[in-house]
Chains A and B, each alone.
Chain A
Amino acid sequence: MAYKGSIAVAYGLALAILLAVGVVSYRDVRLEQQSQQWVVHTYDVLRGIDNLDEQLIAAEDDRRGFVLSGDPEYSKSFAAACAEARLQASNLRGLTADNPREQERLDRLHPALDGYLALLTERLTKSASPNLRLSHANPAGDSLVVPTEIQEIIAGMQNEEKGLLAERTERAKNSSRLARWFTAFGFALSASLILAALFLIRREMAHREIAQHALEDAHAQLERRVEERTHDLAAANQELRRSQDEIQALNTSLEQRVNDRTAELLRANKELETFSYSVAHDLRAPLRHIDGFARILQDEHAAELSEEGRGYVARILQAVTRMGRLVDDMLNLARIGRQELVRERANLDSLVRQSLADLPHETEGRRIEWRVEPLPEVECDPGLLKLVLSNLLANAAKFTRSRPLAVIEIGTLQENGSATFFVRDNGVGFDPKYADKLFGVFQRLHRQEDFEGTGVGLATVQRIIHRHGGKIWAEAQLDRGATFFFTLESKQKELAPQSAQEVTCG
């Protein structure tokens, strides 16, 4: 950028100088022309003066010639010379109109010239008469030289003009010398400026060439790097594709393994359930036999037994009843695990009513206040949900047995748009630190003598609720009643993932 500026300035300056040189040269030529004219003019004046001088000398010569010879030719020539002298004098007045000093000399010259010419003319006329001509026939003595005054004036004029000529010649010479100097200097300066500009251009070009080379090098390097990078990328890509394939293969094998494992689990699950079912089932046969024979003993052979023996038989029958219930509950639990969930819209109110109708055995002769809120319709397996309600209501009835007035509430809470159902009683409750054991199979929080039960009921209830995608939990204080809460479908889970979860949790 700086170079470009400098070059432009140098060229501009050189151009300006050349222009100035041109102008000066033109003016110089004009001035010289003028000076030449003035010199020519001066020469004209000088020639005029010389002519005047010559005419005066010629007039005198002609007069003397006439005096000596009387030749009329001289008289004619004399008159011509006089006329010529006057003409020259008047010409000089015109030629030196610009010079006051010459005019002043001419002012003096004219009367002197007139006087001299008049004198010459008078002498010529006198000598024409014969008397006079003799007396004056003296060629040597009768000479009338041009008076000093006129000679001085002429010499003055000549000097003046010569001085002017010298002065003008000098001035013209000076002015053209200055112009030449100026021209020479201007040319030299503009030449050096152009040279400087050329030098700058050369330098600039050299710089550009270097920059160009550097750019080309950088470009080549860049291209090389791009090529290298492209190569690297291609390699990385290939690597990536290979690992992708590997991952794909791993995924496939993993999927296969998951499928295998799932199938295995499903099979194991099925086997386990079949096993537990047939265990429970096969336990029933000997139980039936024990009960059967003990009953026969009691009914038909009581007389043959002692009081103690009859007591033992009664104890056998009690134990069998209990075990029968355990086996039935286990069978139920196993069945719930295997059974397909059949969902439909069901009226929870009517399910509660049906469950209450199945409770007469426990509630007979007791004061129980049932507080049943109106309940909504729900999406569920009605048979299984009735089992849930029956269990919860039977528990509530059972654990309020010691209360003179049992209060059992059934209702709903709305939480975040989903319904939570609850069954609350004012019974004996339980210690909350055992709450986690509540839903385990065969887990009981009360002694058999206080509250009979198999410890399978709540496990069954939990399994049903879980199969519905819901949650169940309980809050209680010892001797202050218990509340069981349950939901039927957690918002996040839909049917499909639930059943999938059911498979893994079994």
Chain B
Amino acid sequence: MAEPETVEILLVEDNPADAELTLHALRKSKLANNIQLVRDGAEALDFFFCRGAFSNRSFDDAPRLVLLDLKLPKVDGLQVLQQVKEDDRTCAIPIIVLTSSKEEVDLVRSYKLGVNSYIQKPVSFSEFQDVVRQLGMYWLLVNNAPPVSAFSVR
């Protein structure tokens, strides 16, 4: 197995159409080269905690940005968020909830669990493209990423 490239963006999305459209928008914005797609909550947790298919990953090699859908099979987005934000090794990873839900409970839960941003997917694809471009610009270029030491224990 080749030396794994650093994943810049982790996309957690179960719906293939949504995944494809998001990837399309991300690619069009030409911000990231290495985007990892996982299709459910369990797979996402395997990625975060370097186990299963992702056992050869290192915690130090954290993704720059995570786009997390809330409605996911197996383990839902909020549970993923909770586990990631509770763990010292992963809590510094910026996570953006990207969902079609605008329910208040979802917003409140997400923020209380420590989400870094919450975005509702607009219906219009042009608007969505615009949103994706903006958040990529912000989190990958404008924002200072957490240093590697942010992912070690204590």
| Residues of A bordering B, CB below 8 Å | 277, 281, 284-285, 287-289, 291-296, 320-321, 324, 327-328, 331
Q: Are A285 and B15 in contact (CB under 8 A)?
A: yes
Tell which of B1-9, B17-25, B41-49, B75-83 binds the partner. Answer: B17-25
Interface residues on B, range: 10 to 19
A288 near B125: Cβ-Cβ < 8 Å: yes
With a 10 A CB-CB cut-off, give which of B24, B123, B125, B129 has the most chain A CB atoms: B123
Closest-CB distance, B81 to chain A (whole angstroms): 20
- Contact between chains at A285 and B128 (CB < 8 Å): no
Q: Does B100 contact A (CB under 8 A)?
A: yes
* Cβ-defined contact, B18 with A321, below 8 A: no
Interface residue? B143 (CB, 8 A): no
CA distance A295 to B122 in the complex (A): 13
- Tally of A-B residue pairs with Cβ under 8 A? 48
A291 to chain B: closest residue by CB: B125
- Which residues of the other chain, B, contact A284 by a CB distance below 8 angstroms? 100, 121, 123
Complex Cα–Cα for A328 and B121 (A): 13
Could you write out 8 A-B pairs with CB less than 8 Å apart? Answer: A288-B21, A288-B100, A289-B18, A291-B124, A293-B21, A293-B125, A296-B24, A321-B123
Interface string of B100-122 (1 = CB under 8 A from A): 11110000000000000000011
Q: Are B121 and A288 in contact (CB under 8 A)?
A: yes
Q: Inside 8 A of A296's CB, which chain B residues have their CB? A: 21, 24, 125
10 shortest A-B CB distances, which residue pairs?
A: A324-B123, A292-B125, A295-B125, A292-B21, A289-B17, A291-B125, A284-B100, A287-B123, A288-B123, A285-B100
B92 to chain A, nearest CB (A): 31
Alpha-carbon gap, A288 to B17, bound state (A): 9
- A288 and B101 within 8 A (CB): no
* Cβ distance A35 to chain B, nearest Cβ, rounded Å: 147
By a CB distance below 8 angstroms, the chain A residues around B103 are 277
Q: Which residues, 7 to 33 on B, are CB-close (under 8 Å) to A?
A: 15, 17-18, 21, 24
Contact A289 B100 (CB under 8 A): no
Residues of A near B17 (CB, < 8 A) are: 289, 292-293
Give A66 to B124 CA distance when docked, in angstroms.
Answer: 210
Once the chains are docked, how many angstroms separate the CA of A281 from the CA of B128? 17
Separation of A220 and B36 alpha carbons in the complex (Å): 110
In B57-105, the 8 Å CB interface with A consists of 100-103
A289 to B123, CA, bound (A): 8
A292 touches B128 (CB 8 A): yes
Give A55 Cβ to nearest chain B Cβ, in Å.
175
Q: Which of A288, A295, A324, A331 contacts B18 (CB 8 A)?
A: A288
Q: Cα distance A346–B122 when bound, in Å?
A: 31
Q: Is B126 an interface residue (CB 8 A)?
A: yes
Bound Cα distance from A322 to B24, whole angstroms? 24
* Cβ-closest chain B residue relative to A282: B100
A288 closest partner in B (C-beta): B123
CA distance A295 to B128 in the complex (A): 11
| Chain A min CB distance to B4 (Å) | 30
State A287–B18 Cα separation when bound (angstroms): 11
In the complex formed, the residue of A with least CB distance to B123 is A324
A415 to chain B, nearest CB (A): 38
- How far does the alpha carbon of A287 sit from the alpha carbon of B21 in the complex, in Å? 12
Task: Give Cα A328–Cα B120 distance, bound, in whole angstroms.
Answer: 13
Q: How far is the CB of B27 from chain A (nearest CB, A)?
A: 11
What chain B residues lie within 8 Å of A327 (beta carbons)? 123
* Distance A495 CA – B125 CA, assembled complex (angstroms): 44
Q: Given that A281-B100, A324-B123, A327-B123 are contacting pairs, would A288 and B128 also be in contact in the complex, using a CB cutoff of 8 Å?
A: yes
CB distance from A182 to the nearest CB of B (A): 132
Q: Is the CB of A321 within 8 A of B100?
A: no
- Choose among B18, B24, B122, B125 the residue that contacts A285 (Cβ–Cβ < 8 A): B18
Minimum CB–CB distance from B40 to chain A (whole Å) comes to 17
Residue numbers in A under 8 Å from B123 (CB-CB)? 284, 287-288, 291, 320-321, 324, 327-328
A277 to B121, CA, bound (A): 16
A281 to B121, CA, bound (A): 11
Complex Cα distance, B124 from A281, in Å, reads 15
Known contacts A285-B15, A294-B125; can you find 17 more A-B pairs with CB under 8 A?
A: A281-B101, A284-B121, A284-B123, A285-B100, A287-B123, A288-B18, A288-B121, A288-B122, A288-B128, A289-B17, A292-B24, A293-B17, A295-B124, A295-B125, A296-B21, A321-B124, A324-B124
Collect the chain B residues with CB atoms within 8 Å of residue A321's CB. Answer: 123-124
- Closest beta carbon of chain A to B86's beta carbon, Å: 28
| Neighbouring B residues of A292 by C-beta, 8 Å | 17, 21, 24, 125, 128
Tell me, in angstroms, the Cα distance from A295 to B123 when the chains sit together: 11
Give chain A nearest CB distance to B60 CB in angstroms.
36
CA distance A320 to B125 in the complex (A): 10
Chain B min CB distance to A228 (Å): 73
CB distance from B30 to the nearest CB of A (A): 14
Chain A residues positioned under 8 Å from B125 (CB to CB): 288, 291-296
When distances are taken between beta carbons in the complex, the residues of chain A under 8 Å from B102 are 331
Bound CA–CA A287/B15 (angstroms): 13
Chain B residue with the shortest CB-CB distance to A324: B123
- Within 8 Å CB of A328, what residues of B? 123
